[in-house]
């Protein structure tokens, strides 16, 4: 049942049995610790960019994002990207469990996240049926398991958000086309649950933040006091993926 080769480097695992990533590849899944946008967490390639006005990226300076803050664990490159693609296209539950531990580390960088409602970014029902699972939901479940949710007052609500219509894939669209594509797409199923609460939104990958921002707009309209966005990896043209993968 369990793979005997590492999902990332395809070398034979010394200890097969659920740990489908070898210790060396697991070590390679490092967090981004360099300079980044204070608001959306966008990694900056150079320090001068970080030292400019308020350490905000161009988009946040224009106040384009509806969430209060976003953080990602690492860059969407190399092995982290590969691991996410495995999760997304093969729905490996044990992989979600391991990656959720990384997300838990990024969670600790959020301001006062305790007692929040944790909610995954939803797929459209037709996409979900096709795929059989929602990778953001697998990650959100794993996140709260890793965070001792009872102690911290966290509440996981997997169906908090709904997609009210299907959208084009965001890949290949410009930043403004992405925003347009997801405008008004999300609705909140039970607004009374989030009134005056903090919501932590969970997704696998954040690119421009258009999807997370559209979710945040719906949550704020429904009465959430604060929306924090958490993703495993941040995709940005500043750090293109240089690893040739299959
Ligand atoms: Zn490996
Ligand atoms: Zn920013």
Which of these, 160, 220, 213, lies nearest to 188 by C-alpha position? 160
| Summary mean pLDDT of the chain | 89
Determine the Cα–Cα distance for residues 240 and 220; give it in Å rounded to an integer.
Answer: 33
Q: Is 204 exposed, middle or buried (0-12, 13-18, 19+ CB in 10 A)?
A: buried
Annotate 63-105 with DSSP letters as a single string: T---SSEEEEEEESSHHHHHHHHHHHHH--HHHHHHHHHHHHH
Instruction: Spell out the residues 6+ positions from residue 53 whose beta carbon is closer than 8 angstroms to its own.
Output: 61
Helices (H), the chain: 23-27, 47-51, 58-61, 78-90, 93-107, 125-131, 135-146, 149-152, 175-182, 210-221
Number of CB atoms found within 10 A of residue 164's CB = 11
Ligand 2 centroid to residue 83 C-alpha, Å: 25
45 alpha carbon to ligand 1 midpoint, in Å? 27
Distance from residue 66's CA to the centre of ligand 2 (Å): 11
Q: Which ligand is nearest to the CA of 43?
A: 2
Question: Is the pLDDT score of 15 beyond 80?
Answer: no
The residue-averaged pLDDT of 8-28 equals 84
Q: What is the mean pLDDT of residues 10-35?
A: 86
Residue 120 Cα to ligand 2 midpoint, Å, equals: 21
Residue 54, pLDDT > 80, answer no
Q: With pLDDT > 90 as the criterion, what percentage of the chain qualifies? A: 64
Strand partners, 69: 228
Q: Using DSSP bridges, classify how beta strands 117-120 and 198-206 pair: parallel, antiparallel or unpaired.
A: parallel
The pLDDT confidence band at residue 41, using thresholds 50, 70 and 90, is very high
3-state SS assignment for residue 34: coil
Q: How confident is the model at residue 243 (pLDDT cuts 50, 70, 90)?
A: very low
Counting ligands in written order, the one closest to the CA of 56 is: 2
CA 63 to ligand 2 centroid distance, Å: 9
Q: Which ligand is nearest to the CA of 23?
A: 1
**HSE of 215, CA atoms in CB hemisphere, 13 A:** 28
């Amino acid at each position: 049942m369990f793979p005997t080769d590492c999902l990332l480097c395809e070398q034979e695992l010394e200890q097969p049995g659920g740990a489908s990533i070898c210790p060396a590849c697991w070590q390679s899944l490092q967090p981004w610790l360099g300079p980044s946008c204070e608001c959306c967490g966008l990694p900056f390639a150079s320090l001068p960019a970080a030292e400019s006005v308020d350490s905000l990226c161009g988009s946040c300076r224009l106040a384009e994002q509806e969430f209060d803050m976003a953080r990602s664990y690492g860059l969407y490159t190399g092995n982290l990207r590969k691991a996410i693609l495995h999760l997304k296209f093969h729905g490996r539950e044990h992989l979600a469990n391991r990656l959720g531990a990384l997300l838990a580390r990024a969670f600790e960088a959020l301001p006062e996240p305790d007692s929040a409602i944790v909610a995954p970014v939803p797929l459209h029902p037709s996409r979900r049926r096709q795929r059989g699972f929602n990778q953001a939901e697998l990650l959100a479940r794993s996140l709260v398991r890793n965070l001792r949710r009872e102690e911290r007052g966290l509440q996981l609500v997997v169906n908090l958000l709904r997609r009210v219509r299907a959208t084009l894939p965001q890949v290949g669209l410009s930043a403004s086309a992405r925003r347009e594509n997801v405008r008004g797409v999300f609705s909140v199923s039970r607004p009374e649950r989030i009134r005056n609460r903090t919501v932590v939104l969970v997704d696998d990958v954040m690119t421009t933040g258009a999807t997370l921002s559209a979710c945040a707009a719906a949550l704020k309209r429904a009465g959430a006091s604060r929306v924090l966005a958490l993703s495993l990896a941040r995709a940005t043209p500043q750090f293109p993926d240089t690893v040739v993968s299959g």
